[in-house]
């Protein structure tokens, strides 16, 4: 493409008999040394334009890029030669990470566990998680799974998700002392539940009137089984909004 465009520019200069009036190296500062200068400029412009047009039409390859691609191809070919084909066909595709999303069991204000006024929760001794200050007196299932335990006092439930998560939902702090007052469990141990199923009804106002903090920790009891437990960044949630992501 360079030779073609240069040849066309040279042909134009030759046709119009342009010549140098002094011995100079060709560059932008030496244009005035050529006569007739108008035809000389026409030859240069046409040559540059043809180079651009031919490059657009036929493309351009970087030698370094071509060499790198050829080396990658060679490496891949060599690796394939050295690999047992039976192992290639038999090896399953295993994802690097798996995720399980837990939906919010409550509607309310999201809090960090460190804000829960109980060291067992605040210091993470029971596992990672999040807390919600509820504004509605209902606990809904955050996962598809099985009910493991419903405490006698009705203020807490443990679920096992179908993907292996163990979730503790504990309504209020020290609410075990209410001995079941103001709590109505809607499931029992062994029940199969779906996301959004009602687990517990509770009278939020009566609990607060009795002097108990209704902040509710949602704990992943088997935190050690996960690479990470990622909390929502929202400050407010509605029941069944995305709340926690468990990364395996």
Which residues are catalytic, by number?
170
119 token code pair = 């060291």
The dihedrals phi and psi of 87, each to the nearest 5 degrees, come to -70, -35
Q: What is the DSSP letter of 189?
A: T
Strands 236-237, 108-111: pairing is antiparallel
**Which letter does DSSP use for residue 9 in this model?**
H
Give the DSSP letter of residue 36. Answer: S
Q: Which residues, 6 or more positions from 142, have their beta carbon under 8 angstroms from its beta carbon?
A: 102, 103, 104, 105, 159, 167, 169, 195, 218, 243, 244
Residue 24 CA to residue 72 CA, distance in Å, equals 46
């Amino acid at each position: 493409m360079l030779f073609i465009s240069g040849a066309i520019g040279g042909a134009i200069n030759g046709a119009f008999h342009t010549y140098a009036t002094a011995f100079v190296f060709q560059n932008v500062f030496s244009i005035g040394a050529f006569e007739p200068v108008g035809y000389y400029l026409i030859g240069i412009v046409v040559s540059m334009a043809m180079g651009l047009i031919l490059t657009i039409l036929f493309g351009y390859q970087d030698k370094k890029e071509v060499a790198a691609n050829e080396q990658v191809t060679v490496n891949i070919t060599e690796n394939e030669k050295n690999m047992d084909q039976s192992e290639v066909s038999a090896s399953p595709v295993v994802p690097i990470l798996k995720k399980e999303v837990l939906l919010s069991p409550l509607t309310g204000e999201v809090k960090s566990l460190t804000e829960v006024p109980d060291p067992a929760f605040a210091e993470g001794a029971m596992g990672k998680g999040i807390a919600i200050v509820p504004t509605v007196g209902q606990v809904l299932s955050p996962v598809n799974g099985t009910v493991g335990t419903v405490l006698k006092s009705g203020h807490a439930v443990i679920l096992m998700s179908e993907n292996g998560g163990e979730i503790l939902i504990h309504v209020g702090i020290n609410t075990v002392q209410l001995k079941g007052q103001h709590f109505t469990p809607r499931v029992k141990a062994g029940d199969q539940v779906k996301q959004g199923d009602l687990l517990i009804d509770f009278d939020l106002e009566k609990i607060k009137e009795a002097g108990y903090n209704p902040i509710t920790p949602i704990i992943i009891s088997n935190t050690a089984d996960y690479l990470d437990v990622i909390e929502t960044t929202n400050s407010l949630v509605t029941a069944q909004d995305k709340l926690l992501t468990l990364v395996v």
